Chain A
Amino acid sequence: MISREQAVLDEVTRIGGVRSALLVSSDDGLVVVESALEDQATEAAAAFAARLGGRLATLTSALRAPPMSVLLLQATAGQLFVVVGGPGLLLVAVTSNEVNIGEVRLALLAAAGQLN
């Protein structure tokens, strides 16, 4: 039997171009639940996403700006999406550059809504 969280992540990875979807502890950057293709370095993505999310939260707080809703980091060989996935949790997706950004963004926000 798969957990509710696993089912939600599996739904995200069904989108074309999504390599992995992770639920990550925002404090320590560890993977809580994951749905990933083989050979994906999910630990590294989780650690970096949590650190990045933490730094961004500090920045937005210092600027007295509202907290982030979606963080998108674009690199030459892929993209990293981060949204808040619940109290103390982040929902992270690692995708290729060919992915439909809007579709992934909506799927992550919908997934976060189911997890909250």
Chain B
Amino acid sequence: MRAIEPWVEGPLKTFMTESAARVCLIMTGAGQVVAQHGFTRSVDVMTAASLGAGIVASTRELATEIRAGSFGAVVHQGSRLGVYLAPFELPAAPWIGLVVFGPDTSLGMVQLFFGRMVDELVRAAPRDEPHRDVLPETFEDELNASLRTLFGR
């Protein structure tokens, strides 16, 4: 498990243990990775984060378009693996969780413990997040540093 924000690590670890999910990725609403568990290659993380953030943005727009307010989690269930993708609100900003789970657990368990992890993250999140530009001049350096943190290289 690797996390850029240290306060995310505890709730994520508890979630992985209790839900028996295989892979979890926590990212900001813009798709910047905050923590991951179960990925082995950085390229997979970046791809999953981009696709996950894109899907959440698309469903949000769809909800607006059909005047449905807002949608919750997006779930894809296959015969071997399921994917649970859910946006959630932290005090400072919206984040997204992407969970991959197998037949050794169930959607109900993932949903239940994901909700508990979100509650823990809301409690643990720093209240006064300094304002940061979306694409600061140091973006590339920060991205590389984040990947080193996430993969220990």
Residues of A within 8 A of B (CB): 24-25, 27-30, 43-44, 46-48, 50-51, 54
Interface residues of B in 93-132 (CB under 8 A from A): 105-109, 111-112, 115
Contact residue range for chain B? Answer: under 10
By a CB distance below 8 angstroms, the chain B residues around A27 are: 106
| Nearest A residue (CB) for B115 | A43
B77 at interface, CB cutoff 8 A:
yes
Residues of the A chain whose Cβ atoms lie less than 8 Å from the Cβ of B77: 28
User: Do B112 and A43 have beta carbons less than 8 Å apart?
Assistant: yes
Chain A residues in 8 Å Cβ range of B109: 29, 47-48, 51
B contact residues around A54 at 8 Å (CB): 106
Q: Within 8 Å CB of A24, what residues of B?
A: 108
Q: How far is the CB of B116 from chain A (nearest CB, A)?
A: 9
Across the interface, which residues of B come within 8 angstroms of A25, CB to CB?
Answer: 108
| Most chain A beta-carbon neighbours within 10 Å: one of B77, B108, B109, B115 | B108
- Contacts from B to A (Cβ < 8 Å): 77, 105-109, 111-112, 115
- CB proximity of B127 to chain A, nearest CB, Å: 28
B88 to chain A, nearest CB (A): 16
Q: A28 contacts B106, CB within 8 Å?
A: yes
List the A side residues contacting B107 at CB < 8 Å: 28-30
Question: A9 to B109, alpha carbons, bound, how many Å?
Answer: 23
A-B residue pairs in contact (CB < 8 Å), sample of 18: A24-B108, A28-B107, A28-B108, A29-B107, A29-B109, A30-B107, A30-B111, A43-B108, A43-B115, A44-B112, A46-B108, A47-B109, A47-B111, A47-B112, A48-B109, A50-B106, A50-B108, A51-B106
Closest to A27 in B: B106
Q: Which residues of A contact B112 (CB under 8 A)?
A: 43-44, 47
Q: A29-B106, A43-B108, A47-B112 given; name 16 further pairs at CB < 8 Å.
A: A27-B106, A28-B77, A29-B108, A29-B109, A30-B107, A30-B108, A30-B111, A43-B111, A44-B112, A47-B106, A47-B108, A47-B109, A48-B109, A51-B106, A51-B108, A51-B109
Distance in angstroms from A80 CB to nearest chain B CB is 14
State in angstroms the CA–CA spacing of A25 and B106 once bound together. 10
Chain B residues within an 8 Å CB radius of A50: 106, 108
Tell me the complex Cα distance, A44–B115, Å.
Answer: 11
Q: Which residues of B contact A43 (CB under 8 A)?
A: 108, 111-112, 115
Chain B nearest CB: distance from A69 CB in Å?
22
Closest to B82 in A: A28
**Closest chain B CB from A45 CB (angstroms):** 10
